[in-house]
Amino acid sequence: MSEYCVVVAEVARARIFTLEPPEVPEFDPGPKLIERKSLANPQHVAQESEYWTETRRGAHREHTAAQRAGQVVGIPHHNYDEHRDQNERQNNKAFAKDLVSELDRMIAANGFRHVVLCAEKQMLGYLRPQISSHLHGDIDLREVPKDLANLSPHALHRKLANEGFLPAQKKRVPPA
């Protein structure tokens, strides 16, 4: 059973790992990070153009055509950005809540004592309120404010071990 759980997250996706001891300690250097769960933010899977569309396409074409003809026209005004930002924040909050709920389930099932949370700063802002309301008890929570979501399990383990967040992988001892 692992004592360590590692979460790497960004607004588009998150991955949950456990640090597992070697199966055969004599031959396997261990411990190793094993990916247990991968979550995707459904609002970030689609390209932005697929879910943010301008509903007044004809108005934009008419305005551009009038400008080319040398006509003076007013500048079109659209308030889409505020709604997009608010919608994106709500989606990111919901994703953070889902991620912390999954982490909470995994902690309850596996009894982790240490959680290392690696996330870009924006995502940490969404995760902190969720974690403070969900995670209780004697869990040692350590934050790493870096986007490490694209690292392989081996590279992630090496980086976190070098920074003192995880036990290092033991060196392989050649047979005598």
The DSSP bridge pattern shows strands 140-144 and 114-119 to be parallel
- The domain segmentation of the chain, as residue ranges, is 4-51+80-162
**Beta-carbon count within 10 A of 6 CB:** 29
Is 162:148 a contact under the CB 8 Å cutoff?
no
What's the pLDDT tens digit per position in 104-127?
999 989 989 999 999 999 999 999
CATH match of 4-51+80-162 with 2.60.120.10: no
Supply the pLDDT for residue 47: 45
Is 124:151 a contact under the CB 8 Å cutoff?
no
Residue ranges of the chain whose pLDDT lies below 70: 1, 25-26, 45-83, 136, 171-176
Supply the pLDDT for residue 2: 80
